[in-house]
Every structure is written in structure tokens, then in C-alpha cells.
Chains A and B, each alone.
Chain A
């Protein structure tokens, strides 16, 4: 019953989105504006229908209605309620349904917020989103139908993939990823809308779409960090990033979205890069679809590749359609879209932005080549290969290190141009930051070139960004007599985009510092211990207390209780690494225990044990500064949130640059609340 209602709701929504998408150009061409209300109605109706289907799926999961095919595939009476609900995105069909719902939500929100804007930009953007929604509606009607009736109805199901029900981050990472991935449809829709409505030659559409891109970017950043965290907490190898294709799939659109967020500023300020910015919107969207293809088609084997089936062909066809359609549109209008602005001096902020975009694109292309190469090699040469971590570390890491350096240079340089002497003067304080962090890093034992460079540039960029706050706060303090705290708050609130950006920079630097330190100074040991025996790694000592077993409704748990000893041999805590044996699977899920402090993590994993509990083989890893990565993720999101809620900015091009101005940007920017 539930399945039938939901299935019909999805079929109806497919009809509604196709109707809305087809009606939009007719309404505009025949100049019947009142029909546009109907297309907006289609957007809202689609949202209601997909919401109904999604809600019914959650109900079916919770009441264990095994007559619904998806519930029969991922449900189980013994799975705890939380994991039952979140198994909505735990397998292919449910994840496509959830995707369609997020897309419907974004489309409804875009239409709602911008429905009164004159012109054809919003109608065409809404049409684009309806067209994308139609693709997902087709998937849900055919190859990814989650509501196929099952007969006879099974009494129980296998439950979700065991890896996906082992950690609460599974309730966090996928929804964030969908919000980020799917949200990047919105800037794409604005880009297409801008071309179709002849508004691409203005900057308005880019400014409108910027906020949506920033929101999606924040979600995607948080999702990537949450995915790293999940991998760290569940997979038991003590790492968080392996250049695995599915990780790369999430990283690729992040890179182009980051490039967009920077190039759109150049477009606004200097009237440059308009065509480029538009292409970044398109590239970002295509990369999200490519990522979904890679992770959902079963072409790669991983925890994300749920099943093999025909769905991959649908995605390939969709990518081809999107690429051809946008190529025709963009190429046909390129001359009109192209901008006339020119670069100021070489030592200017826009130069740094150009380099930033160049390096981000280079990293994206490198990662893309490395990710797709095995598929190409197998298709063309018939050999099975994998592109190893060394490739990415050697090819992508240098450009990423260079990007960190640019992060410190950009904020220090003004728009337009400046004298070389002035530029040099502004580079002095960040250089001191670089020297300090390099000294700390080298004293701690860093020797590799990229590690030392990474420390240098993180120190450089940290001082470069913090100094911007210092200059602004000091100016306010002197000019308005505000106390330091008030000055800081008003500085940020007065120019949220700029200072939100610097907050996000600090977040990225925290992540970079955590990654550099934890990969440079990682130490690990593995040993088999009898109860009472000690294992010491890099000054951290653990002692095996006991090995135990416990039966839970959906799994058996074997654990090792271990004391963590302080320097004087006193017990300062315990860790309990476990091995979870879900009843439905013959493969256990390792569950390491992580003891975190501001200095880093003590990571203990149970690798093996005697069946009678006589001993346990444990791996102990000491990884400095890992929690800084997670904290950096929060700071990135905080920066994005600050930047999202800015007031409108003036639309004139700024006055001629002031080479010796005390502030890097003109003071008129600041509107005190």
C-alpha cells in the first residue's frame, strides 16, 4: 500500500517536472508571463510529491514494511532505529530518492526566494533544475525504483551494509554530501538561465548564484571532512585520505567550486573572467554528476558502489547530454559573454586570484586524470591498473602547497596594482610566521621537502590572514575608539564576505596543518599482548587489561580493554578498541578507539585476538594534530556562514587603487551596523 502510493507520487512528479520544463520556454517565447506561475507551481508540486515519497519510504523503513523492495533489501528488525532511518541513503535506490528530494528542495527554495525578480533568468534557471529533476525522476521510475512490490513478503531483511551502520557519522556525512553536491545544480541552473535569458553579459546572475554556491560549498566541505572522519573512525587503518576514487569524486567539484568562489570576485571587481566563471559553474555541476556516476554505477568497487546494474549508462547519457547542450550554448554566446576588463599590475590581488584558479584547475585535472586513468586503461589497453597514492602525492600535493602560499599572498595585496617595494613590505610579517613554523616543524623532526614547505606556507598564510584582522581592528580602534572586541565583531559584520573568506582561510590552514603534522610525525607499532603487558609508541604507553565478548541484538562484539598510562606509570584513562561482528555478514567491522587531545590522537585498533581471549594483537598509532583537521572543518563552515549573510554590496567598480592606503581595500566598504 505504502509502496503503491509512493510509486504513484513519483510517477506524477515525473509528469509534473516534464510539464514545467516544457512549458517554461513556451511561456517566455509567446510572452505569456502568467504561465510562468504554472511552471513555478510545478516546482512546488514536485517538491511536495517527492517529499511524500521520501516520507513514505522512511515510514516503510521504520515499520519494517518488507513488501517494499528497498526495505526488503536494507531493512532488518534488529537494526537500531537511528540506523534504520538513515538507511534511506544506505543503498542505491534510496540514495537516488534522497537526491531527488534534495534537488526538489533546492529548486523550490530558489523559485521561492527569487520568484519576484524581473526578467527571464529565474524562469530559465527553474527550467534547468526541472530538467535535471526529470533525469532523476526517470531513474526513480525505472532502474532505481525503490518501491517495487515484493511477493511473498519476507519476514525480515539483511539490514544495511554493516560498514554503514557502525558509526553515527553515517547520519552526518551523506546528507551533507547530498546538500553540497545537489546544491551545485543551482549555480549551474543560473549559468544556463543567464545564457538563455541574454543576461550572461551582466554580472547579476553570478552574484545571485554566488550565495547558493557558497552554501553548497560549505555543505560539501563539511561532508568531505565528515567522510574523512568516518573513514578514520571506522576503517581501522588510522588514516583519513587515500586518494581513493570515491574520495576524489567528492574532491573534484570542491576544487572547481572553490575556484568559482574566487573568480566570481574578480568578475565583480575587475569585470574579468566572466566566461571562465560561467564555465566553472558548468564544470562543477558536471563533476558532481560524474562523481555520482563513479560512485553509484558499480564501475569502482567500494563501500559507495552499491550494486551493478544499468544505472551507469543513464548517467553516462546524461553527462553527454549536459556537456553537448552547454557546449553549444556557451560556444554560441562566448563572444557576448566575454569580458573586457584587464589585469591591473602584476603585483595585485587579481593576479593572485588568477594563479589561484590556475592551480585549483591544475589540481582538479591531475586528480581527474588519476581517477579516470584506470577506467581508460582497462577500456583501451585491456590491463587492470590502479593509480597509486604516490602519483597524487607527487602531482597534486605540490600545487596544493603552492595554493596555501597564495592564500597568504592574496589578502596582503590590493586590487589593481601596487609598487614592488610596497608589496615587498607587506610580505615581511607573513615571512616571519613562515620561519617560526618551519623552525617548530624542523625541530620536531620534519625533513621532507613538501612537509617543510607546507609548514612554511601555513605559517606564512596564517600570519597573512590574521594580519588583515589586526589591521582592520586597529584602524577601528583608533578611528572610533571602540574596544578591541567590539572592533573585531563590527569589522567582521561590516564586511562579512571579506572577513568570512579569511575565516574560511584559517579553517583550511588548520586542516592543512593537521594533515601535514599527522602525516609527517605519525608513528605506529603493532604487537600481540598478554593481559598486563605494555606497548609504548612515541611516548604513549598502553597496557592490555582484558579481552571480552558481548552479545547485542544485531551483532556480537569482541573488545579489548586497555589502560592508557601517563609518564609516571599512573593510569590516566582507558581505551576499548572493538571488533563488531554483525549477524548478517561474515566480515567484522573494526572499531578503533581514539583518545584525542589538542596535541593529537592516540589511536588503538584491535587487529586480532585468541578466540579464548588469552591475548590480543593491537595496533597503536600516535598521530599529532589530527583533531585540528576536524576543528578546521568547523572553522571553514563558520567562515562560509559569515560570508553568506552579507548585505548587498555596491555595484560600481572601485576607485583607482591606492598603493599606499593603510587598508588593503577602500574604507567605503565598511558599513557600521
Chain B
């Protein structure tokens, strides 16, 4: 008798759990999309959480240090999407670099980003000449040394 009850309880909990897991998964999966794939979805791509991957279009970034208003365009070569977010851009943020922005595409055609990730390659590379910190911030470092 006791054993049956325990088994029944375990069964019920497992079923509920399975239902919750698979029901919950469908709603909480975030798709990785390129701008082309996002725009191809049309209205279905608006308002749902998405990870948008692509390159920062050269010359597209504007940042207001006072309001922390950050705008740039993500492109995959074929299509492009304007992105807006609030906050400081990552330090290594540069034209043409790979980014993944998480957020929702707005009805107005602007992607509202909640988080910004720089696509790391596993093998990091050395800075290009003139880009190294000790060259870029030379005056600041020298002034601080005095």
C-alpha cells in the first residue's frame, strides 16, 4: 500500500516535471539570428527575445557619454539592423567587430538591446600597431607617472 502511494507520487511529480520542462523550454529558448534571418521573420520577429549576431557596421556607432545612449548598426553583409541600448559600449568595441546583442526587435525597426557581447575568438590576438593601450593612452600614462 505504502509503496504504491510512493510510486504514484513519484509518477505524478515526474509527469508534472516533464510537462514543465518541455513547456518551459519552448517559451524560453532564445534564437540566434543574423539580421537577414531576423528581418525575414517579419512581424513574427518583433517583440520576442532574440540574440542578434553580426558585425558592427563601420562608422555607424554613436555614443553620448552623458546620456549613455548607444546606437549602432549590425550587419551580416546582406541586411542590417539598427540597434539601440543604454550603457557604455564594451572597451574593445570597434568598427567591423563581431557582436552578439540580446534583446527584442521593436515595431519601429530598431532593435532594443538589453545586453551586448563581443564575440570572442578562442585564440586571442595581439593588438594592431597603434591600437595597443600603451600607445593609445600614452599621454595619460605619462602624466600619471609624474
Interface string of A376-389 (1 = CB under 8 A from B): 01000001111110
B48 to chain A, nearest CB (A): 11
A549 to chain B, nearest CB (A): 3
Does A613 reach chain B (CB closer than 8 Å)? yes
B104 to chain A, nearest CB (A): 12
Also in contact, A366 and B122, with CB within 8 A (given A588-B92, A612-B139) = no
Q: Interface size class for chain A?
A: 35 or more
Interface string of A515-545 (1 = CB under 8 A from B): 0000000000011100000000000000000
Residue of B66, B122, B136 near A301 (CB, 8 A) is B122
Contact B140 A547 (CB under 8 A): yes
Interface string of B73-101 (1 = CB under 8 A from A): 00000000000000111011000000000
Also in contact, A587 and B2, with CB within 8 A (given A388-B28, A388-B29) = no
Contact B133 A548 (CB under 8 A): no
In the complex, which residues 563-619 of chain A have their Cβ closer than 8 Å to any Cβ of chain B?
Answer: 579, 581, 583-588, 590, 607-608, 610-613, 615, 617, 619
Also in contact, A369 and B137, with CB within 8 A (given A388-B49, A585-B124, A607-B88) = no
Does A162 reach chain B (CB closer than 8 Å)? yes
Contact A617 B29 (CB under 8 A): no
Contact B21 A385 (CB under 8 A): no
Q: Which label, helix, strand, loop or mixed, suits the secondary structure of the A interface?
A: mixed
Residues on A with C-beta less than 8 A from B118 are: 587
- Find the B residue at minimum CB distance from A359: B13
In the complex, which residues 353-385 of chain A have their Cβ closer than 8 Å to any Cβ of chain B?
Answer: 354, 358, 362, 365-366, 369-370, 373, 377, 383-385
- Bound CA span A65–B10, Å: 59
In the complex, which residues 95-146 of chain B have their Cβ closer than 8 Å to any Cβ of chain A?
Answer: 118, 120, 122-128, 131-134, 136-137, 139-145
Does A342 reach chain B (CB closer than 8 Å)? yes
- Bound CA span A224–B51, Å: 28
Chain B: interface residue total (CB-CB under 8 A): 48
Residues on B with C-beta less than 8 A from A354 are: 6
- Bound CA span A158–B29, Å: 38
Binding-face segment, A107-115, A247-255, A303-311: A303-311
Contact A586 B20 (CB under 8 A): no
- Bound CA span A551–B143, Å: 12
B116 to chain A, nearest CB (A): 11
Residues on B with C-beta less than 8 A from A608 are: 65, 88-89, 91
Does B68 reach chain A (CB closer than 8 Å)? yes
Binding-face segment, A137-145, A390-398, A477-485: A390-398
Contact B65 A579 (CB under 8 A): no
Residue of A161, A394, A607 near B28 (CB, 8 A) is A394
- Find the B residue at minimum CB distance from A161: B124
- Bound CA span A161–B120, Å: 12
- Bound CA span A552–B73, Å: 36
Contact A586 B21 (CB under 8 A): no
Contact B21 A366 (CB under 8 A): yes
Residue of B13, B32, B128, B141 near A586 (CB, 8 A) is B128
- Find the B residue at minimum CB distance from A386: B30
- Find the A residue at minimum CB distance from B31: A385
- Bound CA span A385–B20, Å: 19
Does A27 reach chain B (CB closer than 8 Å)? no
Residue of A370, A610, A613 near B25 (CB, 8 A) is A370
Contact B13 A526 (CB under 8 A): no
Does A556 reach chain B (CB closer than 8 Å)? yes
Contact B66 A611 (CB under 8 A): no
- Bound CA span A162–B92, Å: 14
Residues on B with C-beta less than 8 A from A581 are: 132-134
Contact B125 A613 (CB under 8 A): no
Please list the residues of chain B having a beta carbon within 8 angstroms of any beta carbon in chain A. 2-3, 6, 10, 13, 17, 20-21, 24-25, 27-32, 49, 51, 65-66, 68, 87-89, 91-92, 118, 120, 122-128, 131-134, 136-137, 139-145
Please list the 8 inter-chain residue pairs (A to B) with the smallest Cβ-Cβ separation, ordered nearest first.
A581-B133, A549-B141, A391-B28, A607-B88, A384-B32, A548-B144, A556-B133, A549-B140
Beyond the given A161-B124, A373-B25, A558-B133, please list 16 additional residue pairs across the A-B interface where CB-CB is below 8 A: A158-B126, A354-B6, A370-B25, A388-B29, A390-B28, A391-B27, A551-B141, A555-B133, A556-B134, A585-B124, A585-B126, A588-B133, A607-B91, A611-B140, A619-B87, A619-B88
Q: List 11 A-B contacts (CB under 8 A).
A: A158-B126, A306-B122, A343-B2, A343-B6, A388-B28, A528-B66, A549-B137, A549-B141, A583-B127, A586-B92, A587-B120
Please list the residues of chain A having a beta carbon within 8 angstroms of any beta carbon in chain B. 158, 161-162, 298, 301, 305-308, 342-343, 354, 358, 362, 365-366, 369-370, 373, 377, 383-388, 390-391, 394-395, 526-528, 547-551, 555-556, 558, 579, 581, 583-588, 590, 607-608, 610-613, 615, 617, 619
